Chain A
Amino acid sequence: MSEMDERGHPVDDLSALLDGELETGERDRVESHLAGCSGCRALLEDLRRLDAAVGAEAIPPVPPGLERRIRAGLGARTGGAPEAERSGRATVWRSWRASMPLAAAASLIVAAAIWLLRPVPSEVPRPETPQEQASRPEMSPPEPPVARGDERKKDAGASARAQSDAISRESAPPATRPVPPAAEAAPGQNVASVDKQEPARKSARALESEAPRRLEAAADAAPAPVAPSDTRDRPAMAQVEPLSQSATDSISPRAAAGRVGWPVRIEAPPYDVLLTAEDAMVVSAGSWICRVAIDAADGRRLAALARSAPPGGTVAQLGAAQPSAPQPGATPPRAAQPPPPRPSAADAALSAIRERYRAQIEARCGPLPR
């Protein structure tokens, strides 16, 4: 499957080439085209650079209390959904449950009254079954869910969303997603009722007013993801720069008090290295840049080394034992050798780049710059 534009450039294949997803024949053909087409080469380089920048984007850290809140919401698995999931807010559910007997009795009375007083048989709209939803062609516009009612449509900003829907109709999945054909379908397909008790903070007006601020924050959160600079004259020491920290501060002091943000930057001349939360390493040198997936343990080890380096100091200095003052008359122990210094983050990064991941890097982005 290969696509050319009307001028014969394999533009749509460049993304797949970047991802290593072209079959051998396709790849040969595209590479042979690239050899003679500077425009396509430039486009490929742009896509590669963008890809690396996307991978290095600062992501807000996991809020410190989230794990605890999820644990608290687990409850015993008794075949039904956990309490917190049904309402999204455990406390709301608990208070609702307390009034359950009364509510049930009231519902029965109302239902009986409606049945007895019904004027004429009517066509009651029924919810679409999953089979019907699945049979709906993907090209057709998704039915707006009940939750997206009139008050949302009144929002000025909603027109942007509607426009987005119209634009992405070709590719956007329907509102209630069909179960993927995989043997193990993802649970969570039918979630239409989960947020029926959305708290007031999610009112359309509140969202309207906070959206620009959050967009600002998201823009501010963008780090200097690929900063190819000439670092050859700098000493090979770890310059720790948790890039998302300042962005985190601007987003939420609570979040800032949590984990150190990703990505973590290591200057390892001649390379500038970014470690991302997704276990990827973005290596740049001058105008060359490359992003490769790395083993999770390697990423954490490098990040830990980088984070443990004091500003302006090396990890080796930090790791060296401070000699204690000798006791008068005591013979200095011969075996009191300082422990071997740990490698600096820069050294460890260089080793990872040049040894452990060299093959992946060069297969993806060409020869490693010296």
Chain B
Amino acid sequence: MSPTPKPPGVRSLGLVHETAGAAAAEHESVTESELVGRARSGDQEAFGRLMETHLERVWVLVWRVLRHREDTEDVVQEVFLTAWRSLPGFRGEASLATWLGKIAVTRALNHLDRGGVKVSRNAVPIEPGSGDGQRTAGLAREPEDGRPAASPLRVLEARDLGRRLADCLGRLPPAWRAALALRHQDQRAYEEIARALGLALGTVRSRLSRARLALRECVESGT
């Protein structure tokens, strides 16, 4: 059984599933599009409820790009204040989540451009390398006998993998991290990621591919 797709802009507010009572039932009965309409006309309470729904997702998205808690806090604050100010211009053609995601990534990358780099400041950034070298790097251990070689990545203890991954993600170019973050949020389609980042579809595809290959190389080398 697959989940029922919801039309964009009409999203039942699900954050209150864990609570009971009349307030929860009331929350359930209001659709997101109704709240957007109310918030658009200046209803702060309606906007607050939209924020309750989306805050965690925006937080995760921004953190994945910035990888710094205090910076994330600042930028998430900016995102919702911008959304509040700009909501009258939101026409509902994309879902609110998509719209907020676009604001979030743009703000996060602008924050880095303004010099707010902290995580990667003292770390050696991952060097994407030349195109050919990058492409063949993944197959350097291709065996002759047709059996897959033991990948260092597979024999890593899960904890070591987590540590190396956190380090390597912090060293990826932020624009690559942004593409990965959008992909990991809701498994967004490349087309949606391209719209959010203002890029061509092919650029998104190659950026994600390079980011993953670079991550693999970094995690395996442990440097």
Contacts and interface: CB of A to CB of B under 8 A. Distances in A.
A binds B: yes
Interface of A: 1, 3, 5-7, 9, 11-16, 18-19, 21, 37-43, 45-47, 49-51, 53-55, 57-60, 62-63, 66-67, 69-71, 73-74, 76-77, 80-82, 84-85, 88, 142, 145, 147-148, 152, 155, 157-158, 160-161, 163-164, 167-168, 170-173, 175-184, 186-189, 191-192, 194-195, 202, 207-208, 210-212, 214-215, 218-228, 251-252, 255, 277-280, 287, 292-298, 300-301, 304, 355-357, 359-360
B contact residues, range: 35 or more
A189 B42 CA distance: 23
A1 B202 CA distance: 8
Nearest to A162: B125
B74 to A, nearest CB: 7
B180 A356 contact: no
Interface of B: 1-3, 12, 14-15, 17-18, 42, 44, 47-48, 51-52, 55-57, 59-60, 63-64, 67-69, 72-74, 76-91, 93-94, 99, 102-103, 105-107, 109-111, 113-128, 132, 135-136, 138-139, 141-143, 146-149, 151, 153-154, 158-159, 161-163, 165-167, 169-170, 173-176, 180, 183-187, 189-190, 195-199, 202-203, 205-210, 212-213, 215-216, 219
Contact of B187 (A58, A74, A280): A280
B60 A277 contact: yes
B216 A46 contact: yes
B77 A300 contact: no
B198 A158 contact: no
Contacts of A171: 173, 175-176, 203, 207, 210
A85 B44 contact: no
A218 B105 CA distance: 20
Contacts of A228: 158
Nearest to A42: B148
Contact of A293 (B73, B88, B138, B187): B187
A3 B56 CA distance: 37
Contacts of A208: 121-122
Nearest to A255: B69
Given A57-B162, A227-B158, A188 B90 contact: no
Contacts of A218: 67, 119, 166-167, 170
